[in-house]
């Protein structure tokens, strides 16, 4: 394992410090926490907080800024941050209008956020949680993980909150977005945890792992590596099953951490072509590293079924480190 | 159990978990994401570091402090679960400086309640609750039999091997989760074995 | 070798098609070429063209848009495009004000651009070329390669051109930027050409290659992998030798293709800390994949010595696929 | 050489380069970026594909067409160099349908001039010019001796092994470039060997 790092235990700290050092006018780190917030909050606005284990950079701290998150909470690599950290974030961004927590569907994240909500409630802060579970690779819907689709929910919810909408309204739109978002992934290589130094699973030279999550866990199927065209088809077949026909789409092609952009766009090309062949209208396409899994090579596809409301918030301006438009 | 014994228990547990760090992570590698040993080690190390600072706390406050430290430092799923368990014990032992007889059973059943609520889980789901729950039942009204308690923990841990995991990352595996002991059950077994060891040492 | 691709010979085409498909309102591909241009040119403006071999994505097509390039010319992987392609780009973006070509210092690129300039001249189009050579790893200054610093030159030059400046003026500022830009790189792994399938060099598990270029060529020194702090120091020591004292700086931390963002920021953190310890004023810091080398793991650091003029154009708005601000 | 012989020459060169594609790339791996074989193969394949379309061209126009095709399809450094060489030969042979005696030497010396200008290089820099230049000199005023020409090309190619490369990617290696034959010199040798082969076959 070769990584640009110092002490493996300090990799999250290094990331957070680096992010703030490179973006001082925009971001700050709350003292004694791994919480990143906007340096200046927009007044009288519902706070939008997300977070979870690290290793998914730029998620989530890279999405803190006008039009998206107010705060991001970073845990150890692949480990949910404790409730106390979520509470610090809630306290920091609440302006009396309440706080919405956008949480990927992992047991640990949900439990820590629920605890934080209870503590916040005791302080008179109203909070709501919306759980994101876009990964169709998991058949049991209750167990479905939140993966790259998360960033689309964050984008849309953040844009709405920026308009001064109420906590209730923001929650409604976040849930609607979750309901209309589906993703699935494929890995060409496993990832290696900095503190462990061993790949999270073994994969032969000609194999790929289908239906992986973002924590180095094994997928649902292993098979020979196929072409980009075939990977696009494989993932789309699963995802489209759960996307209403006719509705226009937003597409997110997400690199898992060490897949070069040239390959991401090759896959994007095949995906868009296949969607157009099926007469699907791809209104927006995003390609890049949005939700990674350390140094995993691979890709996820996300489709979001759009209506005018969601499309509008998706197109709204955003000024974060990693997503600007 | 008095405050000093509680601290002794926590110190021994921390040492035990650090010894078994890799074992716990390897177990978690099969069912989850392979970090349970690292998480528990980090959390209990923070507890032990705290013990010196928390010198003048009551037993109840100490348990609360341990709970919130575990939430904060273990993180993941185990953090809020262990944390809630300790906080609930702390709440149950308010004003009690020496845990005896019914206080044990009261404290443990509150802890079990807390885990079940926090984890939205019940026994048989193949989690650490399958150790905590039989342990709580092994505390009867009278003075605890530490051998019984230890063996209840052991059996509970062993039983998770045959269960289909219903909660946590292991649940993603469905039927394929059968055949693996739950890492949280194992760390809980170590916790209770060290409790028994501490208390038995005190009895001598 | 596992890559998301179809026919390895078609990877550049797949990239260009994907880029355009995902950004239809903004970009177009000139028919029968591998030239990407803005869909709508800003009238009465000097055209800014860059290009070179592929494998460095998002460079250069990802930088076509308002405030940066008018056209980008893509060759085969690591191979300069032919003069005819540069000519097509020149013809497409010339509006009578002339065209500036920003070229990384490679023999092939320079020769092809010179040929294209001669052909353009025959058609009455005035052109100028500015050669970028920021890589301090090469001691012979004439042989110095253009690497990640190229994108800073493109950004600044593009911003100035957007104001309607003359070809002469745009060339002056481009050259000034080149003179004040220095970079150096380190690789943790080699890259693998899609059509070759073999790593461009061998590197043992605990080794890194210092002073590499962006074409998979071997570096100037091979040594044991060290910490991020030590890598930052090593590169800065070389680069700072050629950066005037006192002047404020722009810093670019550039991932080489498969280095995760978390690691890029860890290195950024160490770099900024060390610069601040030396009392250097880091006015702007950019972190991400700006100029890659296929799937190479590694990083380059670039420093640009700023004056008010350059700082202004660096901060100016830009709207390309990959760089928006 | 008439148009038909020129076409024959190009076809044979293309076949030869495609046979030696990997060898040329391997040579380029040592001094450059390992793609010279791929580049030349791609370029000459495009030339051969073009030959059928360019049926009615004069020899001069054919050479120009070959040149621009090589610029476009070889790309890299070799593209503009080979391309310029062919375009300059085409220009020198304007109105000539059969290259003989002084036309050969005129065409080749224009090609050498073109390469030197385009590459800002001179003989001894360890590039393909070190083949083209002695070949041009081997064309005297009279009818060419194809054996002399072939051996001039061969010697020029061999000589690059001992040179410190001064131009192109190999120049980055400085003194370490000594001991490697220049790939562009090798592809040029094949080109002239096939020219000799073609012309000698025509003489019989
Ligand atoms: N919902 C739940 N209810 C009860 N126990 C759970 C639940 N989810 C997880 N666990 C316990 O937590 C353990 C995993 O802890 P750990 O690996 O530290 O956290 P994570 O799963 O976040 O990586 C499991 O072995 C299981 O015993
Ligand atoms: N400036 C130059 N002058 C003459 N010949 C050159 C020059 N630069 C490169 N060459 C020739 O081109 C060959 C390399 O061609 P190729 O590998 O196809 O291009 P690239 O270097 O762009 O990858 C070298 O072996 C050398 O003979
Ligand atoms: Mg975990
Ligand atoms: Mg775990
Ligand atoms: Mg090349
Ligand atoms: Mg080459």
Domains of chain B by residue range = 3-203
| Predicted local confidence at residue C250, as pLDDT | 98
> Chain C contact for A178, CB < 8 A?
no
Please give the Cα distance from C181 to C179 (Å, whole number): 6
Name every protein residue with a CB atom under 6 angstroms from any ligand 2 atom.
Answer: C 79-80, 107-108; D 28, 32-33, 35-36, 39, 76-78, 81, 119, 121, 127-129, 167-169, 182-185
CATH architecture classification, C19-179+315-320: 3-Layer(aba) Sandwich (3.40)
Between helices B59-74 and A83-93, what is the axis angle to 10°? 80
CATH superfamily of D3-203: DhaL domain (1.25.40.340)
Distance C162 CA to ligand 1 centre (A): 56
| Predicted local confidence at residue B141, as pLDDT | 82
Size of interface A-B (CB pairs under 8 A): 88
Find the closest chain D residue to C194 by CA distance. Answer: D35
Name the strand (E) or helix (H) holding C253: strand C249-255
Domain definitions of chain C by residue range: 19-179+315-320, 181-309
Average pLDDT for runs of 10 along chain B of length 204: 96 98 93 92 97 93 97 96 98 96 95 98 97 96 93 98 94 91 98 97 80
CATH superfamily of C181-309: Dihydroxyacetone kinase; domain 2 (3.30.1180.20)
Number of H helices, E strands in chain C: 8, 14
Phi, psi of C26 (to 5 degrees): -105, -35
Q: Which of C104, C112, C202 to mutate to test the interface with D (most CBs of D within 10 A)?
A: C112
| Predicted local confidence at residue B202, as pLDDT | 83
| Predicted local confidence at residue D34, as pLDDT | 87
The CA distance from A83 to the nearest CA of chain B, in Å, is 6
Instruction: Please compute the mean of the pLDDT values over residues C14-24 and round it to a whole number.
Output: 98
Select the residue of A54, A263, A268 nearest C5 (Cβ to Cβ): A263
Residues near D32 by Cβ (< 8 Å), separated by ≥ 6?
C217, D168, D169, D170, D183
Size of interface C-D (CB pairs under 8 A): 88
Distance D169 CA to ligand 5 centre (A): 9
| Predicted local confidence at residue A59, as pLDDT | 98
Burial A166-201 (b: 16+ CB within 10 A, else e): ebeebbebbbbbbebbbbbbbbbbbbbbbebeebbb
Pocket lining: B133 vs ligand 1, CB cutoff 6 Å: no
**For chain A, where are the E strands, in sequence order?**
27-29, 35-38, 47-54, 65-66, 71-77, 99-104, 127-132, 181-187, 207-210, 221-224, 249-255, 282-288, 298-305, 319-320
Give the sheet arrangement for strand A47-54, strand by strand: A27-29, A35-38, A71-77, A47-54, A99-104, A127-132
Return the closest-CA partner of residue A167 out of A215, A113, A230, A96: A96
Which ligand ends up closest to the CA of B118? 1
Handedness of CA C108, C110, C114, C116 (dihedral sign): positive
The active-site residue out of C56, C60, C238, C284 is C56
pLDDT band, very low/low/confident/very high, at D203 (cuts 50, 70, 90): confident
CA A313 to chain CA centroid, nearest Å: 17
Largest distance between two CA atoms of chain C: 56
pTM score, two decimals?
0.96
| Predicted local confidence at residue A82, as pLDDT | 97
Please give the Cα distance from D5 to D3 (Å, whole number): 5
Select the residue of A79, A145, A196 nearest B76 (Cβ to Cβ): A79
* Residues C136-147: tens digit of each pLDDT: 999 999 999 999
Question: For residue C60, is the peptide bond before it cis, meaning its omega torsion is within 30 degrees of 0?
Answer: yes
Which residue among B120, B126, B127 has the greatest number of ligand 1 atoms within 8 angstroms of its CB, and so is best to mutate?
B127
From residue C91, how far is each of C64, C70, D118 by CA, in Å?
16, 11, 22
In chain C, residues with a C-beta closer than 8 Å to the C-beta of D38 are 76, 195
Burial C140-177 (b: 16+ CB within 10 A, else e): eeebbbbbbbbbbbbbbbbbbbbeebebeebbebbbbb
Q: Which of B47, B71, B120, B121 to mutate to test the interface with A (most CBs of A within 10 A)?
A: B71
Which residue among D24, D28, D76, D78 has the greatest number of ligand 2 atoms within 8 angstroms of its CB, and so is best to mutate?
D78
pLDDT tens digits, chain A, 325 residues: what are they? 899 999 999 999 999 999 999 999 999 999 999 999 999 999 999 999 999 999 999 999 999 999 999 999 999 999 999 999 999 999 999 999 999 999 999 999 999 999 999 999 999 999 999 999 999 999 999 999 999 999 999 999 999 999 999 999 999 999 999 999 999 999 999 999 998 888 888 899 899 999 999 998 889 899 999 999 999 999 999 999 999 999 999 999 999 999 999 999 999 999 999 999 999 999 999 999 999 999 999 999 999 999 999 999 999 999 999 999 9
CB A5 within 8 Å of CB C227? yes
Measured CA angle at C146 (ends C143, C149), to 5 deg: 140
Between helices A83-93 and A107-122, what is the axis angle to 10°? 50
């Amino acid at each position: 394992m070769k990584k640009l790092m110092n002490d493996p235990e300090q990799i999250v700290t290094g990331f957070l410090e680096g992010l703030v050092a490179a973006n001082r006018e925009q971001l700050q780190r709350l003292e004694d926490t791994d919480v990143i917030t906007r340096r200046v909050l927009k007044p009288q606005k519902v706070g939008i907080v997300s977070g979870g284990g690290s290793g998914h950079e730029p998620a989530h701290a890279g999405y803190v800024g006008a039009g998206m998150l107010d705060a991001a909470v970073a845990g150890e690599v692949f480990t949910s941050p404790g409730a106390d950290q979520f509470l610090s974030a809630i306290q920091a961004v609440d302006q009396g209008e309440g706080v919405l927590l956008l949480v990927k569907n992992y047991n640990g994240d949900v439990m820590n956020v629920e605890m934080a909500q209870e503590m916040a409630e005791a302080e008179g802060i109203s909070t709501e949680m919306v759980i994101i579970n876009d990964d169709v690779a998991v058949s049991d819907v209750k167990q479905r993980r939140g993966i790259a689709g998360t960033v689309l929910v964050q984008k849309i919810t953040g844009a709405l909150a920026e308009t001064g909408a109420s906590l209730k309204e923001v929650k409604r739109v976040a849930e609607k977005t979750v309901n209309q978002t589906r993703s699935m992934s494929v890995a060409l290589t496993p990832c290696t945890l900095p503190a462990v130094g061993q790949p999270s699973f073994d994969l032969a030279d000609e194999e790929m792992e289908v239906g992986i999550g973002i924590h180095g866990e094994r997928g649902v199927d292993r098979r020979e590596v196929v072409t980009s065209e075939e990977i696009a088809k494989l993932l789309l077949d699963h995802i489209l099953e759960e996307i209403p026909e006719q509705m226009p789409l937003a597409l997110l092609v997400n690199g898992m951490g060490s897949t070069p952009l040239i390959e991401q766009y090759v896959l994007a090309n095949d995906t868009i072509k296949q969607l157009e062949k099926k007469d699907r209208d791809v209104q927006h396409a995003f390609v890049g590293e949005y939700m990674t899994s350390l140094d995993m090579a691979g890709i996820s596809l996300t489709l979001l079924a759009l209506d005018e409301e969601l499309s509008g918030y998706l197109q709204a301006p955003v000024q974060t480190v990693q997503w600007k438009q | 159990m008095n405050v000093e014994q509680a601290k002794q228990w926590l110190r021994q547990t921390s040492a035990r978990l650090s010894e078994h760090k890799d074992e716990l992570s390897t177990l978690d590698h099969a069912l989850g994401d392979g970090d349970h040993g690292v998480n528990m080690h980090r959390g209990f190390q923070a507890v032990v570091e705290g013990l010196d600072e928390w010198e003048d706390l009551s037993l109840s406050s100490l348990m609360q402090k341990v709970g919130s430290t575990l939430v904060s430092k273990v993180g993941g799923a185990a953090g809020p679960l262990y944390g809630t368990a300790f906080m609930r014990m702390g709440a149950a032992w308010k004003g009690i400086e020496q845990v005896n007889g019914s206080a044990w059973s009261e404290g443990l059943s509150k802890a079990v309640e807390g885990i079940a609520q926090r984890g939205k889980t019940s026994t048989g789901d193949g989690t650490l609750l399958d150790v905590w729950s039989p342990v709580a039942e092994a505390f009867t009204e009278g003075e605890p039999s530490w051998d019984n308690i230890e063996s209840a923990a052991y059996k509970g841990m062993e039983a998770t091997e045959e269960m289909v995991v219903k909660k946590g990352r292991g649940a993603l595996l469905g039927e394929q989760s059968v055949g693996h002991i739950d890492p949280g059950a194992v760390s809980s077994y170590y916790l209770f074995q060290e409790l028994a060891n501490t208390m038995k040492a005190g009895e001598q």
